[in-house]
């Protein structure tokens, strides 16, 4: 019998890619998503790639009664991979309470269910935003956590604290927080990829939508930062590399290979690329000239952050396989496939 895993936010960008990797690794995948920032079509994409359509339930995780009913109907869930959250830095600055209520309320409800229904393994989608504006680069797992630069980043910091405190009390449960850097790109089939509803908050979908003519031009926020070309630096990671790490982390917990019942790992490439470097890579791989302009800085943005991946590489036995050019080409193929649909 296949092991059953629950992926919350599983129709979203990272969730759908992770669902593919779990199905291909032989798991039965269940998905809960409220479709607030994703489309149900991604289930068709998952099915086209894997030949399997995951069981899907549409509701909000802040609805504890519905969540309880779901767990009651699915008593054999062995692991939870928790993605579902609001994730736009700018929006969180404008609507902080919405972020705290949703991101933390849903997490607390889920943790209660892990205890009640004895689902022992919990993988949390964290973020490099927990490091704030880092004092030292590259960022290690034990680097000091600075004050968050946005309410979104703060929800990730608080969420990690909630999980850590919960795991201190619930010694028979175990959790891994995966702190990812900047996921980009799409599955090589171009059947699933990043499809934000409305105007994109992330760089790469804004690049591809500008190149294909959906957006008039791309604004590059900040050109006077203390970086080689004046634009922000991030550690961009291919979403498929990231998705694979979730399967490895879950199997670490299921096979009792974890060293403590709460662990955390950075997921990145270990290389920082500036916004202008990303644009140049895209132009090279797509053979499209991009219409962009340099504009003032945006509140909440960190200047530069990239990861030290040694701990994840050695402890998880995981490392990235795809480079920036691979990321840009796959994102462009996905955008073209969307247009053809």
User: Do the beta carbons of residue 36 and residue 55 sit within 8 Å?
Assistant: no
Q: In the chain, where are the structural domains located?
A: 4-184+237-267, 203-233+270-340
Q: Report the pLDDT averaged over residues 269-286.
A: 98
With a cut of 80, say whether residue 341 has pLDDT above it. no
* Encoded tokens for 76: 């054999």
**CA dist., res. 57 & res. 19, Å (int):** 14
User: Do the beta carbons of residue 31 and residue 13 sit within 8 Å?
Assistant: no
User: Do the beta carbons of residue 62 and residue 109 sit within 8 Å?
Assistant: yes
- For 23, the enclosing helix (H) or strand (E) is helix 13-24
Instruction: Report in angstroms the alpha-carbon separations of 3 from 16, 75, 97.
Output: 18, 12, 37
- When the pLDDT of each residue in the chain is averaged and rounded to a whole number, the result is 96
pLDDT band at 226; cut points 50, 70, 90:
very high
| 99-158 tens-digit pLDDT | 999 999 999 999 999 999 999 999 999 999 899 888 899 999 999 888 988 899 999 999
* Encoded tokens for 332: 């462009």
**CA dist., res. 215 & res. 17, Å (int):** 25
| 229-243 tens-digit pLDDT | 999 999 999 999 999
Instruction: Report in angstroms the alpha-carbon separations of 5 from 33, 50, 80, 128, 173.
Output: 14, 16, 6, 25, 15
Domain 203-233+270-340 has CATH 3.30.420.40: no
**CA dist., res. 299 & res. 72, Å (int):** 43
| 248-266 tens-digit pLDDT | 999 999 999 999 999 999 9
Q: What is the pTM of this model?
A: 0.96
Q: What is the pLDDT of residue 7?
A: 98
**Phi and psi angles of residue 179, each rounded to the nearest 5 degrees, phi first:** -95, 100
| CB-facing half-sphere around the CA of 123: CA atoms within 13 A | 30
The DSSP secondary-structure symbol of 312 reads I
Q: What is the pLDDT of residue 201?
A: 80
Q: Is 225 a catalytic residue?
A: no
* Encoded tokens for 195: 């499809």
Q: What is the pLDDT of residue 312?
A: 97
With a cut of 80, say whether residue 279 has pLDDT above it. yes
Name the catalytic one among 152, 180, 262, 306. 152
Q: What is the pLDDT of residue 338?
A: 92
| 42-75 tens-digit pLDDT | 999 999 999 999 999 999 999 999 999 999 999 9
Alpha helix (H) residue ranges in 31-178: 41-50, 64-73, 89-94, 96-99, 105-116, 151-169
| 201-222 tens-digit pLDDT | 889 999 999 999 999 999 999 9
- For 233, the enclosing helix (H) or strand (E) is strand 233-234
User: Do the beta carbons of residue 314 and residue 267 sit within 8 Å?
Assistant: no
| 22-32 tens-digit pLDDT | 999 999 999 99
Homologous superfamily (CATH) of 4-184+237-267 is: NAD(P)-binding Rossmann-like Domain (3.40.50.720)
Q: What is the pLDDT of residue 41?
A: 95
* Encoded tokens for 137: 């680069």
Determine how many CB atoms are found less than 10 A away from the CB of residue 118: 12
Using the Cα atoms of residue 103, residue 105, residue 106 and residue 108 in order, give the sign of their dihedral: positive
**Lowest-pLDDT range of 114-118, 194-198, 212-216, 293-297:** 194-198
């Amino acid at each position: 019998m296949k092991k059953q895993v629950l992926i919350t936010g599983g129709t979203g960008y990272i969730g759908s890619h992770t669902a593919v990797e779990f199905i291909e690794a032989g798991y039965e995948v269940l998905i809960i998503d409220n479709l607030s920032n994703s489309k149900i079509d991604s289930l068709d994409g998952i099915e086209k790639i894997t030949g399997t359509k995951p069981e899907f339930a549409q509701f909000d995780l802040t609805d504890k009664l519905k969540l309880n009913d779901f767990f009651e109907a699915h008593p054999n869930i062995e692991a939870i991979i928790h993605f579902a959250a609001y994730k736009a830095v700018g929006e969180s600055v404008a609507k902080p309470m919405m972020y705290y209520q949703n991101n933390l309320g849903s997490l607390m409800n889920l943790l209660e269910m892990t205890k009640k229904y004895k689902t022992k393994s919990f993988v949390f989608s964290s973020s490099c935003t927990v490091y704030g504006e880092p004092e030292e680069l590259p960022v290690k797992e034990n680097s000091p956590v600075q004050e968050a630069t946005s309410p979104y980043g703060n929800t990730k910091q608080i969420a990690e604290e909630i999980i850590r405190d919960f795991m201190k009390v619930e010694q028979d449960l175990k959790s891994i927080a995966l702190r990812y850097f900047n996921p980009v790109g799409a599955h090589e089939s171009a059947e699933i990829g990043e499809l934000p509803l409305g105007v994109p908050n992330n760089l790469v979908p804004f690049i591809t939508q500008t190149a294909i003519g959906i957006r008039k031009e791309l604004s590059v926020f900040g050109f006077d930062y203390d970086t080689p070309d004046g634009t922000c630096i991030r550690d961009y990671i291919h979403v498929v590399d990231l998705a694979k790490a979730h399967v490895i982390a879950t199997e670490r917990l299921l096979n009792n290979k974890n060293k403590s019942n709460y662990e955390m790992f950075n997921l990145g490439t270990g290389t920082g690329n500036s916004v202008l470097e990303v644009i140049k890579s895209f132009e090279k791989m797509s053979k499209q000239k991009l219409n962009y302009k340099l504009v003032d800085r945006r509140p909440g943005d960190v200047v530069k952050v990239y990861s030290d991946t040694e701990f994840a590489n050695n402890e998880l036995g995981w490392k990235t396989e795809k480079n920036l050019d691979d990321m840009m080409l796959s994102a462009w193929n996905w955008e073209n496939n969307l247009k053809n649909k």
